[in-house]
């Protein structure tokens, strides 16, 4: 009986010791390399995802800033272009207005020149080149008493001669036409003469002087 009891106690001790060993091994067992590797991989993936997401957010932020900057510059350029177009339209309109004003001034100048020519033609003491029509050259015939009635006629006296001059023109062509009409009226002896600075000359000499003056004005 004593032996059996000792044997039972030994078996119990062995079982207890075995259980202790088993329990100790279960509680104190280290994590496997595979699990550590898996956890490391998962952690790395999370970090990669986190940094990737942060990088994408940074790119979106920078892209937004760049887009806003580009839009601001584009708007500034558009505004500047609109201002330039507006200024160009204003300058075009001003140029048109100046063109119209210049045209009116040119017409006014031509009109004033014509009026000046008429005044010069009707002024006895006017200087310059003129063309006139002499309708007579009378010896010992005094018509001074009739000069008030002959306002359109001018008398040129030299010695005992009196020359009757009718008309005064700046244009040689107009003077020729007038001479022709005077001849048709019956003054067949009428002919062209010239006047330079108040002095009667041959019409050819006056024509040369007139052409020289015209060339100088054109230059």
CB 130 within 8 A of CB 169: yes
CB 193 within 8 A of CB 200: yes
Alpha-carbon gap, residue 110 to 118, rounded angstroms: 12
Residue 200's DSSP bridge partners are: 195
Alpha-carbon gap, residue 156 to 133, rounded angstroms: 12
Are both 117 and 140 inside the same structural domain? Answer: no
Whether residue 25 lies inside any domain: the answer is no
Alpha-carbon gap, residue 192 to 178, rounded angstroms: 9
Are both 180 and 204 inside the same structural domain? Answer: yes
CB 171 within 8 A of CB 184: no
pLDDT along the chain (219 residues), means of 10: 49 49 48 73 82 86 88 85 86 86 86 74 65 73 57 76 83 88 82 89 91 73
Whether residue 128 lies inside any domain: the answer is yes
Whether residue 211 lies inside any domain: the answer is yes
Domain count, the chain: 2
The candidate with the shortest Cα–Cα distance to 157, out of 137, 183, 133, is: 137
Are both 210 and 162 inside the same structural domain? Answer: yes
Are both 139 and 100 inside the same structural domain? Answer: no
Are both 212 and 163 inside the same structural domain? Answer: yes
Whether residue 185 lies inside any domain: the answer is yes
Tell me which of 121, 136, 171 is where a domain ends: 121
Are both 96 and 116 inside the same structural domain? Answer: yes
Q: What is the CA radius of gyration of the chain?
A: 62
Tell me which of 121, 139, 164 is where a domain ends: 121
Backbone phi, then psi, for 62, in 5-degree steps? Answer: -65, -40
Domain of 173, CATH number, reads: 3.30.70.1070
Q: Specify the pLDDT at position 193.
A: 92
Are both 130 and 87 inside the same structural domain? Answer: no
Distances (CA, A) of 47 to 39, 50, 57: 12, 5, 15
Are both 195 and 142 inside the same structural domain? Answer: yes
Structure tokens at 94: 């001003």
- Domain of residue 133 covers 124-218
Alpha-carbon gap, residue 18 to 28, rounded angstroms: 15
Are both 150 and 203 inside the same structural domain? Answer: yes
Q: Specify the pLDDT at position 103.
A: 85
Are both 116 and 144 inside the same structural domain? Answer: no
Residues in the chain: 219
Whether residue 182 lies inside any domain: the answer is yes
What is the pTM for the complete model shown? 0.40
Element (H, E) at 124: none
Q: Specify the pLDDT at position 104.
A: 86
Are both 81 and 110 inside the same structural domain? Answer: yes
Alpha-carbon gap, residue 140 to 165, rounded angstroms: 17
Are both 169 and 95 inside the same structural domain? Answer: no
Tell me which of 77, 103, 121 is where a domain ends: 121
């Amino acid at each position: 009986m004593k032996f059996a009891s000792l044997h039972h106690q030994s078996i119990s001790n062995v079982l207890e010791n075995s259980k202790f060993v088993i329990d100790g091994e279960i509680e104190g067992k280290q994590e496997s390399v595979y699990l550590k590797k898996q956890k490391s991989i998962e952690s790395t993936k999370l970090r990669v995802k986190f940094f990737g997401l942060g990088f994408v957010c940074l790119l979106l932020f920078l892209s937004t800033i760049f887009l806003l900057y580009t839009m601001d510059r584009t708007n500034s350029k558009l505004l500047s272009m609109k201002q330039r177009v507006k200024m160009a339209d204003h300058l075009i309109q001003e140029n048109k207005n100046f063109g119209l004003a210049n045209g009116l001034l040119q017409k006014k100048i031509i009109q004033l020149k014509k009026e000046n020519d008429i005044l010069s033609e009707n002024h006895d003491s006017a200087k310059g080149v003129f063309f006139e029509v002499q309708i007579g050259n009378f010896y010992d015939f005094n018509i001074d008493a009739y000069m008030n009635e002959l306002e359109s006629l001018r008398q040129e006296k030299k010695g005992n001669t009196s020359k009757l001059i009718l008309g005064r023109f700046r244009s040689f062509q107009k003077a020729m036409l007038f001479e022709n009409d005077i001849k048709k009226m019956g003054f067949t002896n009428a002919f062209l003469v010239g006047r330079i600075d108040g002095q009667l000359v041959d019409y050819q000499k006056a024509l040369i002087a007139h052409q020289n003056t015209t060339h100088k004005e054109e230059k």
